């Protein structure tokens, strides 16, 4: 399911932590989207463009449209290439595009946006972009829109995290064990019951996604052979077995619903 997240569309929330970072998975999904021929827009706020593009080959980098809000997020330098309205202005501009093909928007990161914008404003913008069916003021249909949002949930309280969670069609919570990364995927679809599963994976140096099986049973910790097993019947206040006399009394008992010649 992890390799088919982009086919579902809508807001995909990537929830990472200090122990299990999510930017590598974000870049892996961006690469997969670019290889599928989709338009890919990156709203880079947290790391430089050079750092984000590092590891991609020239073919992938040429397919990415990068909106740099890292160097000058408030456009103090008044450059002409800067979009008015900052990151949300870039989102609206992407929404008003005329190309009807599918598009993927990667937000690196939602945490940066939450720290610089009101939560309600950000949620309204995300809802408008990820749920649109046609461009405002345009009769031409717009293709599938996938929004990949990287969220460092340890930086935020339950309120903002819960608000973004309620907007997301898909939530990916990163974790792992014994050095192997896992993604718990929760999918919500209209008129369908939510589905969830855990996918084990690794990210290759070229940011390809390598799906794997979970840890084997042999890797689980086993019991100490020097500790004697505990008898669960040790402290019971009743006897689990009948004596010979009690068994004979039970067998000779005539039940009310049992027919016999003695009745």
**DSSP assignment of 102-120:** -EEEEEETHHHHHHHS-HH
Cis peptide before 109, with omega less than 30 degrees from 0?
Answer: yes
> Which residues, at least 6 apart from 100, have a Cβ–Cβ distance to it below 8 Å?
140, 141, 142, 143
Rounded-to-integer distance, Cα 59 and Cα 127, Å: 31
Rounded-to-integer distance, Cα 129 and Cα 126, Å: 5
Helix (H, G, I), strand (E, B) or coil at 199: strand
Percent of the chain with pLDDT over 70: 80
Q: Is the four-CA dihedral 127, 133, 139, 140 of positive or negative sign?
A: positive
Rounded-to-integer distance, Cα 43 and Cα 106, Å: 6
Is the distance from CB of 67 to CB of 42 less than 8 angstroms?
yes
Question: What's the gap between Cα 263 and its chain centre?
Answer: 70
Closest by CA position to 108, among listed 62, 42, 166, 153: 42
Closest by CA position to 105, among listed 162, 144, 137: 144
Class of 1-210 per CATH? alpha beta
Rounded-to-integer distance, Cα 37 and Cα 34, Å: 5
- Could you report the per-residue pLDDT of 152-173, keeping only the tens digit for each? 999 999 999 999 999 999 999 9
In whole numbers, what is the pLDDT of the chain averaged over residues?
82
pLDDT at 221 over 50: no
pLDDT confidence of residue 236: 76
- Could you report the per-residue pLDDT of 175-220, keeping only the tens digit for each? 998 788 999 999 988 888 889 999 999 999 999 999 888 665 443 3
pLDDT at 9 over 50: yes
Confidence tier at 254 by pLDDT (50, 70, 90):
confident
Which residue would you say has higher pLDDT here, 13 or 244? 13
Cα→Cα distances 257→172, 189, 217, 248, 262, Å = 59, 54, 51, 20, 13
pLDDT confidence of residue 225: 47
Is the distance from CB of 200 to CB of 212 less than 8 angstroms?
yes
pLDDT at 237 over 80: no
pLDDT confidence of residue 261: 63
The residue behind tokens 């099986």 is 213
Helix (H, G, I), strand (E, B) or coil at 203: strand
Q: What is the pTM of this model?
A: 0.75
| Eight-state DSSP code of residue 117 | S
- Could you report the per-residue pLDDT of 90-133, keeping only the tens digit for each? 888 887 765 678 889 999 999 999 999 999 999 999 998 877 64
Confidence tier at 139 by pLDDT (50, 70, 90):
very low
Is the distance from CB of 141 to CB of 97 less than 8 angstroms?
no
Confidence tier at 229 by pLDDT (50, 70, 90):
low
Helix (H, G, I), strand (E, B) or coil at 67: strand
Total residues belonging to the chain: 263
Helix (H, G, I), strand (E, B) or coil at 213: coil
pLDDT confidence of residue 123: 93
Which residue would you say has higher pLDDT here, 168 or 230? 168
pLDDT confidence of residue 46: 93
Which residue would you say has higher pLDDT here, 28 or 2? 28
pLDDT at 222 over 60: no
Q: How many CA atoms lie within 13 A of 178 on its CB side?
A: 9
pLDDT confidence of residue 96: 73
Q: Would you state the structure tokens that stand for residue 159, as one six-digit string?
A: 């309120």
What would the mean pLDDT of 36-51 be, rounded to a whole number? 93
Is the distance from CB of 35 to CB of 60 less than 8 angstroms?
yes
pLDDT confidence of residue 134: 43
pLDDT confidence of residue 81: 55
């Amino acid at each position: 399911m992890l390799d088919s997240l982009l086919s579902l569309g809508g807001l995909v929330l990537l929830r990472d932590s200090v122990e299990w970072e999510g930017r590598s998975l974000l870049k892996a999904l961006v690469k997969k989207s670019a290889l599928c021929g989709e338009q890919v827009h990156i709203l880079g706020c947290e790391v430089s463009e050079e750092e984000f593009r590092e590891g991609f080959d020239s073919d992938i980098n040429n397919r990415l449209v990068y909106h740099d809000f890292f160097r000058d997020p408030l456009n103090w330098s008044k450059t002409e290439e800067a979009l008015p309205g900052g990151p949300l202005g870039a989102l609206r501009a992407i929404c008003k595009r005329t190309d009807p093909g599918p598009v993927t928007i990667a937000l690196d990161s939602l945490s940066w946006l939450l720290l610089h914008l009101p939560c309600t404003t950000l949620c309204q913008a995300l809802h408008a972009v990820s749920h649109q069916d046609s461009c405002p003021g345009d009769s031409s249909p717009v293709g599938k829109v996938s929004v990949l949002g990287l969220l460092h949930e340890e930086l935020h309280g339950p309120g903002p995290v819960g608000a973004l969670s309620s907007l997301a069609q898909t939530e990916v919570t990163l974790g792992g064990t014994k050095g192997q990364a896992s993604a718990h995927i929760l999918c919500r679809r209209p008129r369908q019951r939510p589905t969830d599963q855990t996918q084990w994976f690794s990210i290759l140096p070229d940011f390809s996604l390598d799906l794997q099986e979970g840890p084997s049973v042999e890797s689980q910790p086993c019991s100490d052979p020097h500790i004697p097993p505990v008898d669960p019947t040790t402290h019971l206040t009743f006897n689990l077995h009948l004596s010979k006399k009690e068994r004979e009394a039970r067998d000779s008992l005539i039940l009310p619903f049992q027919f016999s010649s003695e009745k």
